[in-house]
Structure 1
Amino acid sequence: MAPRLLFLLALAAASLAHLIPPRQANGTQNPWPLLRDFDALGAWFEGVAAIEKTSAPSRSNATIAIVGAGISGLATALMLESVGVHNWEIIEASSRIGGRFRTKFFEGTQEWVEMGPMRLPYSVQYKSDNSTHEYTDHRMVFQLADWLNEINQHNPELEVNFIPWIQHHPNELLARGTKPTADGRVPTRADIAANPELGSAPPSTSLEYKSTKQKMDGIMKDEKTLRAIQKDIWRAHRKAMDQGLDDMSEQAMMRNVFMASENTTDAIWTASDYDIFWDEMVHNSNLAQDGSSSALGETEWRCVDQGFNKLSDAFFPHVSDRLELERKITRLESIKDAGGEPKTRLFWNSGIGMNRTSHHKDYDYTIIAVPFTMTRFMDLPTFSSVLGRAISEPGLRFKSACKVALLFRERFWEQDERPIFGGYSQPRSAAVGALYYPVYGLNETGRPGAIIHYRGGDWSDRFASFSDEQHVELVLDAIVSLHGEQARELYTGQYERLCWLQDEHTATAWCRPDVEQHALYIPAYHVTEHNTIFIGEHTAPTHAWVSSSLHSSVRGAIQLLLEIGMAEEAKALNQKWMGRWISSQD
Structure 2
Amino acid sequence: MAIHAILLSALATFQLSYARVVSPHTERSIQNARPLLRDFDALGAWYDGVAGIKQSAIPRQPNVTIAIVGAGISGLTTALMLDSVGVHNWEIVEASDRVGGRFRTKFFADTQEWVEMGPMRLPYTITYDSDNSTHEYTDHRMVFQLAEWLNELNHHDPRWEVEFIPWIQHHPNELMARGGKKTSDGRIPTRADIAANAELQSAPPLLTADYNSTKEKMNAILKNETTLRAIQKDVWRAHRAAMDRGLDDISQQAMMRNVFNASENTTDAIWTASDYDLFWDEMVHNSNLAQDGSSGTLGETEWKCIDKGFNKLSDAFIPLISDRIVLNRKITKLEAVNGSSGLPRTRLSWHTGGKDRGLSHKDYDFTIITAPFTVTRFMDLPKFSSVLGRAISEAGLRFKSACKVALLFRERFWEKGERPIFGGYSQPLSVAVGALYYPVYGHNETGRPGAIIHYRGGDWSDRYMSFSDEQHVEQVLDAIVSLHGEQARELYTGQFERLCWLEDEHSATSWCRPDVQQHALYIPAYHATEHNTIFIGEHTAPTHAWVSSSIHSSVRGAIQLLLEIGMVAEAKALNARWMGRWIDFGV
Q: TM-score, normalised by structure 1?
A: 0.97
Q: 2:192 aligns with which of 187, 190, 193?
A: 190
Question: Aligned partners of 2:448 and 2:458: how far apart in 1?
Answer: 33
Please state how far the C-alpha of 1:564 moved relative to its aligned partner.
Answer: 0.4
Conservation of the 8 A alpha-carbon contact between 1:21 and 1:242: no
- Residue identity in the other structure for 2:535: F
Conservation of the 8 A alpha-carbon contact between 2:372 and 2:507: yes
- Residue identity in the other structure for 1:8: L
Please state how far the C-alpha of 1:54 moved relative to its aligned partner.
Answer: 3.0
Conservation of the 8 A alpha-carbon contact between 1:436 and 1:453: yes
Matched, 1:4 2:8: no
Question: Aligned partners of 1:229 and 1:154: how far apart in 2?
Answer: 33
Measured against aligned partners, the alpha-carbon deviations of 1:173-227 in whole angstroms (never above 9, x if no partner) come to 0001141001111100000011011111101110110000000000010001000
In the other structure, the counterpart of 2:25 is none
In the other structure, the counterpart of 1:272 is 274
Matched, 1:325 2:324: no
In the other structure, the counterpart of 1:417 is 418
Please state how far the C-alpha of 1:292 moved relative to its aligned partner.
Answer: 4.0
- Residue identity in the other structure for 1:342: P
SS at match of 2:332: strand
Please state how far the C-alpha of 1:418 moved relative to its aligned partner.
Answer: 0.5
Question: Aligned partners of 1:355 and 1:290: how far apart in 2?
Answer: 57
SS at match of 2:99: coil
Q: How does 1:262-411 map to 2 (within 5 A)?
A: 262-286=264-288, 288-289=290-291, 292-352=294-354, 354-411=355-412
Question: Aligned partners of 2:297 and 2:19: how far apart in 1?
Answer: 30
SS at match of 1:519: helix
Q: How does 1:436-475 map to 2 (within 5 A)?
A: 436-475=437-476
Matched, 1:82 2:81: no
Question: Aligned partners of 1:327 and 1:525: how far apart in 2?
Answer: 25
In the other structure, the counterpart of 1:544 is 545
Measured against aligned partners, the alpha-carbon deviations of 1:518-540 in whole angstroms (never above 9, x if no partner) come to 00000000000000000000000
Please state how far the C-alpha of 1:289 moved relative to its aligned partner.
Answer: 4.9
Question: Aligned partners of 1:322 and 1:216: how far apart in 2?
Answer: 50
Conservation of the 8 A alpha-carbon contact between 1:558 and 1:573: yes
- Residue identity in the other structure for 2:448: R
Q: Percent of aligned pairs with the same residue?
A: 77
SS at match of 2:496: strand
- In the superposition, relative to structure 1, how do residues 467 and 47 fare at CA in structure 2: closer, same or farther (>3 Å)? same
Please state how far the C-alpha of 1:290 moved relative to its aligned partner.
Answer: 5.9
Conservation of the 8 A alpha-carbon contact between 2:291 and 2:299: no
- In the superposition, relative to structure 1, how do residues 364 and 253 fare at CA in structure 2: closer, same or farther (>3 Å)? same
In the other structure, the counterpart of 1:582 is 583
Please state how far the C-alpha of 1:30 moved relative to its aligned partner.
Answer: 5.6
How many pairs were matched up? 579
Question: Aligned partners of 1:529 and 1:50: how far apart in 2?
Answer: 24
Conservation of the 8 A alpha-carbon contact between 1:396 and 1:513: yes
SS at match of 1:378: coil
Which has the larger displacement, 204-213 or 3-12? 3-12
In the other structure, the counterpart of 2:26 is none
Question: Aligned partners of 2:14 and 2:67: how far apart in 1?
Answer: 48
- Residue identity in the other structure for 1:502: E
In the other structure, the counterpart of 1:259 is 261
Matched, 1:13 2:15: no
- Residue identity in the other structure for 2:562: L
Conservation of the 8 A alpha-carbon contact between 1:178 and 1:187: no
Measured against aligned partners, the alpha-carbon deviations of 1:401-455 in whole angstroms (never above 9, x if no partner) come to 0000000000000012200000000001011000000000011111000000000
Measured against aligned partners, the alpha-carbon deviations of 1:446-476 in whole angstroms (never above 9, x if no partner) come to 1000000000000000111111000000000
Unpaired runs of at least 5, structure 2: 22-29
Q: How does 1:41-190 map to 2 (within 5 A)?
A: 41-190=43-192
Question: Aligned partners of 1:289 and 1:119: how far apart in 2?
Answer: 14
In the other structure, the counterpart of 1:25 is none
Conservation of the 8 A alpha-carbon contact between 2:69 and 2:371: yes
Measured against aligned partners, the alpha-carbon deviations of 1:328-365 in whole angstroms (never above 9, x if no partner) come to 0000000111221000000001214x332210000000
- Residue identity in the other structure for 2:47: F
Question: Aligned partners of 1:31 and 1:224: how far apart in 2?
Answer: 39
SS at match of 2:396: coil
SS at match of 2:518: coil
SS at match of 1:303: strand
Question: Aligned partners of 2:319 and 2:410: how far apart in 1?
Answer: 36
Please state how far the C-alpha of 1:366 moved relative to its aligned partner.
Answer: 0.1
Question: Aligned partners of 1:15 and 1:54: how far apart in 2?
Answer: 38
- In the superposition, relative to structure 1, how do residues 345 and 371 fare at CA in structure 2: closer, same or farther (>3 Å)? same
Which has the larger displacement, 52-61 or 136-145? 52-61
Question: Aligned partners of 1:77 and 1:526: how far apart in 2?
Answer: 18
Please state how far the C-alpha of 1:56 moved relative to its aligned partner.
Answer: 2.3
- Residue identity in the other structure for 2:380: D
- In the superposition, relative to structure 1, how do residues 421 and 15 fare at CA in structure 2: closer, same or farther (>3 Å)? closer
Measured against aligned partners, the alpha-carbon deviations of 1:88-133 in whole angstroms (never above 9, x if no partner) come to 0000000000000000000000000000000000000000000000
Question: Aligned partners of 1:44 and 1:15: how far apart in 2?
Answer: 22
Conservation of the 8 A alpha-carbon contact between 2:173 and 2:190: yes
In the other structure, the counterpart of 1:246 is 248
Question: Aligned partners of 2:54 and 2:164: how far apart in 1?
Answer: 39
- Residue identity in the other structure for 1:435: L
Conservation of the 8 A alpha-carbon contact between 2:14 and 2:245: no
Conservation of the 8 A alpha-carbon contact between 1:12 and 1:215: no
Please state how far the C-alpha of 1:82 moved relative to its aligned partner.
Answer: 0.2
- In the superposition, relative to structure 1, how do residues 467 and 287 fare at CA in structure 2: closer, same or farther (>3 Å)? closer
- Residue identity in the other structure for 1:11: A
- Residue identity in the other structure for 2:237: R
Question: Aligned partners of 2:455 and 2:84: how far apart in 1?
Answer: 38
Question: Aligned partners of 1:75 and 1:521: how far apart in 2?
Answer: 23
Matched, 1:568 2:569: yes
Conservation of the 8 A alpha-carbon contact between 1:64 and 1:366: yes
In the other structure, the counterpart of 1:236 is 238
In the other structure, the counterpart of 1:510 is 511
In the other structure, the counterpart of 1:227 is 229
SS at match of 2:582: coil
Conservation of the 8 A alpha-carbon contact between 1:372 and 1:391: yes
Question: Aligned partners of 1:379 and 1:295: how far apart in 2?
Answer: 48
Q: TM-score, normalised by structure 2?
A: 0.97
Conservation of the 8 A alpha-carbon contact between 1:287 and 1:298: no
Conservation of the 8 A alpha-carbon contact between 1:20 and 1:242: no
Conservation of the 8 A alpha-carbon contact between 1:94 and 1:327: yes
Conservation of the 8 A alpha-carbon contact between 2:332 and 2:380: yes
Conservation of the 8 A alpha-carbon contact between 2:17 and 2:241: no
- In the superposition, relative to structure 1, how do residues 6 and 443 fare at CA in structure 2: closer, same or farther (>3 Å)? same
SS at match of 2:228: helix
- Residue identity in the other structure for 1:323: I
Question: Aligned partners of 1:469 and 1:205: how far apart in 2?
Answer: 41
In the other structure, the counterpart of 1:479 is 480
- Residue identity in the other structure for 1:66: I
Please state how far the C-alpha of 1:20 moved relative to its aligned partner.
Answer: 13
Matched, 1:520 2:521: yes
Conservation of the 8 A alpha-carbon contact between 2:167 and 2:303: yes
Conservation of the 8 A alpha-carbon contact between 1:288 and 1:297: no
